[in-house]
Every structure is written in structure tokens, then in C-alpha cells.
Structure 1
Amino acid sequence: MPAANWDADISNDYLRCYKLLATLTQQEIELLRFRSQNFSGNNLTKMAPGVGTSGTDPVADDLETRWTNQTRDQLITHWEALTNNIPSQFVLNAPNILGECGWWWKGRIVNSDVVNYQERMSLMALSGILDRFSGRSPRILEIGGGYGALCLGLLNAVKPTQYVICDLPESLLFSGLYLTAALDRETRLLDADKSIAQESSGEVCLLPNYLAQTHIPRQQFDLVINTLSMSEMSPHQVKTYAELISTSIGSSGVFFEQNHDNKPVGLIDCKDYLGSFFSKVAFIEAPIPVVRGKAAVWSN
């Protein structure tokens, strides 16, 4: 279960990376992108899946000399396939901060993480979700924001009035630091006594998951997002979030979800439980290479 990734009684990379970044030393904050592999599954020093590596591994000054031309060509080819015919405002533009690395291609940084997050941006664009907000600014809730890449992409793409990230407190450290640096302004951390109501246009709010049932009820969102983490939850957690989401999107909002079927590894497929809370579902069939799970749009 997700909380076990932060269990002090077992040795795990989530906790090691959190403790390292929680020192708040300038050196480690400057390497935040290398410490984020547990959210993306990629190790940027290898520019490949992070199996067998740790996000706390030392970062060599000459790491780019170890990347192969084959790796570069594969990633750029994949990125090209994901961005072909996608409007430029819907193409992720990762800022050159906090250790971001890779190859400059058509004026943007391309690496294994950017490719993964672009898949989600492209799916939302091709499904028509992002076009729903043409001419108006939506209010967005993301459940499980990783290190903040998708939030940043959507802030640039659709200019939401407010973007709320609901996540484990330890995870919010990563997205809070990344987005504060990328946006050059503070993110707002919610607690039990602070209102979730928008305080400034385009603000980012960080909502600890244990306050979801305190703050989300009676709130309305145009778009709710979850990618990859719901199929790592328990059925009870999925049902709790699904009820909150269904109420918060009302009759006009949508829930974009992309998750693997994790039953083969002893977990769940969240889609088995979502149908009880939404009256409509459309599975996204898009002419792009999709490798991060089946995507669907749920609505009432």
C-alpha cells in the first residue's frame, strides 16, 4: 500500500530520498530531479528505468557521457510520436532547473521523464479534455502529483484558476519544492484550519491526503486527475476518492484517470471499482504509443 513506501521500519528508496531532500540543503534541492525517480520510475543518470538503482545514488558530473546515441534516438523518436499534431501549448516544456537533464530538441528538453508525462498531456489533448477549457480557466484537482511535472504542464496549457494537488505529505515536499522553483512563487500548503477556497489566480495548493475528506467535500472542480497511483491503493481508498471525485465534478466536470491493471502483481485494477461511482466512461483510443496504462475519462 502507498503509505508503506514511507514506513521507517523497512528500508526503502522512497524514505531514503525523502530524508535526503528533507534536509533542505541547497545541494540536494539542486538535485531534486535526480531524487524523484520513485514518482516517474526512471533513473535520469541512466536515462532508463530505475530498476536496481536508487534516487540517492551519487550524480556524476559527466553523467551525460554515459548516455548512448541509441538511448537518445529512441527517446526523441518516442517524443516525436507523442507530440505529432499536438498544439504547442499542450507540449510539456520542462524548465532547465533542479538538475533537469537530457537533450535539447526543438527548443525543449527531452528525457525519459518528459516522455512519460507528455504521454498524459497528449492523451488529454487528443481526447478533447483540454479543448473543453478553450476560452475559460478550469479548476483542477490532481490526486497524486508526483514531483509536479503534470501540474506545471497544465498550468501552462490551460491556465487554471487553481490547481490543487492531494498527496501523501512526504510527496508534497517534492512537488512543493519543484513548483515553487519552476513558477518562481510560493505554493500554498493547506492544513485543517486553512480554507481550500482560491486566494489568488493560478495558485497551486498542496493538500495532505489525510485532509481530503475535510477539504474536498462541497468543492467543485472542472477536471480531476489521477495517474498510476490508484491501482496501488486499497479498494477502500479508491472508493473513498471516487465518491469525493464524483461529487466534486458534478454534472459538468470530468475525471481523467490512467492506471495499470496491477492485479498480476497482487494489487488491484482501480477501474474495477470506479464504475459504481460514475455513470459514464470513455476509454481513450489515441494514435500514439501508450505505455503507462489504459486511460479513461469518467463523468456523471
Structure 2
Amino acid sequence: MSKQPQVNDLWKYIGENEVNEDLIGDLSDFKTSQVNARLTYFDVETNGVRYLKTLIYNLAGRLGEESWARLRRTTGRELGNPYAVTYDGERVCLDYLRAVEELSFIEKHLDLDGGRVLEIGAGYGRTCHTLMSNKDIAQYTIIDLPTTMALSRKYLGAVLSPEQFERITFIPIDEIEASLGDAEFDLCINIDSLAEMDTATVGYYLSLIAERGRHFYVNNPVGKYADKSLDGHARGEAAIARALDAGLLTDVVDVHDNRAVRGQAGKFVRAYRPAEDWNCVADDWAAPFTWYWQALYQRPTPA
């Protein structure tokens, strides 16, 4: 063999500017530095979408056939141009992957056909969209901030049929008592917002659920985290302080330690029980976020 391996222009540049003895330093943190980003993984500071799509791709590969069927029945998911991947010919994003898995968890214990549902804090409406597309929901009521409700009303009006949309009632938080009347619900839902409310407001909603609901599905964090490496506290320390103080579960947890998260599960189940006599039917980790838990409660059947 007469020729020696040659260094191409790309790696000449990398060796001169990104990976060399001067930049490597003393090894104390090179695995979270630009040095290792060039050698083993994409730079996390500039490749967030790449990692998000990788997560979606891997989650899609684990979906069961029933969840794929739920996704296909939920048409219009592409509205809003979500970050998505194509898997087995189907475009899929993280929001709706979560939604069909949440529905799967609920359906193991509760038949929603013909049911009346109350959702507290609907975001843009992905949960309502998924349930209405897969189950014969008689009535779906959303309680939310007026500003957020403007989005969910517009979005659900676009992705649902007129007949489905007519079954949705939108109630701003300052009209709850006047607008609910004597309505009762087969299922009450809160996903990812009770942990952001003050304790008095959480108590109000749990009392409302205990009074008017038969079942309650909750999906929220088990506690707080203070790992600055996750986002560099980009919103500022004041925002971090507000977040750490909100909700019922304020213990700071190592959210990337599965034993620490599971150790908080008992507190989660106790904290979100609407009333002492309600039973927790099931609870489990709420994938994919490491520090989220989910539980389904049931009001006791009258004797």
C-alpha cells in the first residue's frame, strides 16, 4: 500500500478549530462541551428539533396497532405545522402521540362512549380532538382562561366536524358557577396545568371534580426540578422561583432518576385524589417526559 490516509478539508477545520489538545483541557467537562458534540452527538444547544424528531420517531416505533388506529381517526392533526416525522407512511407529532397513549390508559378502565367529559385547561385542544375523534362523546366541556380558549375554540372548530364541534361547551374561568348549572360528568381531565396553579385554585378544581365527576384523569409532574443544564434557566431566576412555588407538589426532584420519580408517585396519587373516599383505579409513569405521572380515580359507588 503506497498511499497514506488523508485528512479531508472538513476534519482539517475541525482539528484546527474544534477538537484539539488546547480545547480538550483537563477532561473535567469535555463530554458536555463542543469537543464531544463534534465526536459523538449533535450539539444539544443548536439541535433541539433534531432530538425532538428523534424522540417522536422512536415513540412512533413503539406504538401498538390500536394507538395507530386512534391516530388515523384523528384527522387534521397537521394543522399548525407541528414538528413531525413520517412513520409507516403516517405523519405524527409528539402532542398526538401523547394524546392517543393517554386515551389508551383511560380506555383500559372506562368506556367513554356516550359519556360527558369536563377538561380543565385544554391548551389548544389536542385531547378534546382525540377523544371526540375516537369516542362517541355526548358532551365535552372545557374550562380555561379566555385567552387560551380563543385558540382552542378556533382550532377545534377547524379540525372537528360541525356536528362534533356543536357538542363542545366553552366556559371561561370567571363564569364557572353561572355556566355549569347542575351538570355532572363521567370523566374529568387535567393534563399539565394543575402543577402551574396556586394551591387554592387546585383545591377549588378538585372540589368541583369531587362534587360533579365520576372519574378523574390527571397527568402532571411529580415535583419540581432545578437542573440548570436543561435550559440554562433561559426565562430568568424570577420565573424559576414562580414555577418552584406553584402547585401542590413542590419537592425538588432529580427528574432523570427513575427511582426518585417513582418515589414521588405516592405523593402524586394522594395530592390529586379529589376526595378521601375516591379510589385510585390505576397510576403509572406518563411517558415520554421523565418526571410526569398519570392516575385515574373513581368516585365510590353509592350503596
- TM bracket, shorter-chain basis: 0.5 to 0.7
1:158-201 deviations in whole A, cap 9, x for unaligned?
1201111110000001101100111243998xxxxxxxxxxx5x
Q: 1:99-110 residue pairs with structure 2 within 5 A?
A: 99-110=81-92
**Equivalent position of 2:144 in the other structure:** 167
Q: After TM superposition, give the deviation of residue 290 of structure 1 in Å.
A: 5.7
Classify the secondary structure of the residue corresponding to 1:284.
strand
- The answer to whether the Cα contact below 8 Å between 1:167 and 1:207 also exists between their aligned partners in 2 is yes
The answer on whether the counterparts of 1:216 and 1:248 sit within 8 Å (CA) in structure 2 is no
Give 1:254's aligned residue. 215
| Structure 2 stretches lacking a partner, 5+ long | 1-43, 226-243, 250-267
- Pairwise CA RMSD: 3.3
Matched residue, 2:207: 243
Deviations 1:265-291 (A, max 9, x none): 232336454336252123423796564
Partner secondary structure for residue 137 of structure 1: coil
- Within 5 Å, which residues of 2 pair with 1:156-235? 156-185=133-162, 203-216=167-180, 218-235=182-199
Using a 3 Å threshold, how does the CA distance of structure 1 residues 216 and 298 change in structure 2: closer, same or farther? farther
Contact 2:61 2:87 in 1 (8 A): no
SS class of match (2:91): strand
1:299 lines up with 2:298 in the alignment: yes
For residues 94 and 170 of structure 1, the distance between their equivalents in structure 2, rounded to whole angstroms, comes to: 25
Q: With structure 2 as the length reference, what TM-score do the two structures score? A: 0.61
Answer yes or no: is the 8 Å Cα contact 1:90–1:122 preserved in 2: no
Which of the pair has the greater relative contact order for Cα pairs under 8 Å at 6+ separation? 1
Deviates more, 1:213-222 or 1:95-104: 95-104
4+ runs of 1 displaced by more than 4 Å? 270-273, 286-290
Q: Percent identity?
A: 22
- Could you tell me which residue of structure 1 aligns to residue 60 of structure 2? 79
The equivalent of 1:274 in structure 2 is 272
Relative to structure 1, the CA distance from residue 276 to residue 204 in structure 2 (aligned partners, 3 Å threshold; closer, same or farther) is: closer
1:87: Cα distance to partner? 4.9
1:91 is aligned to 71
Given the alignment, which residue of 99, 102, 125 partners 1:117?
99
* Alpha-carbon offset, residue 85 of structure 1: 4.9
**Residue-pair matches, total:** 216
Paired residue for 1:3? none
1: distance between equivalents of 2:61 and 2:157? 29
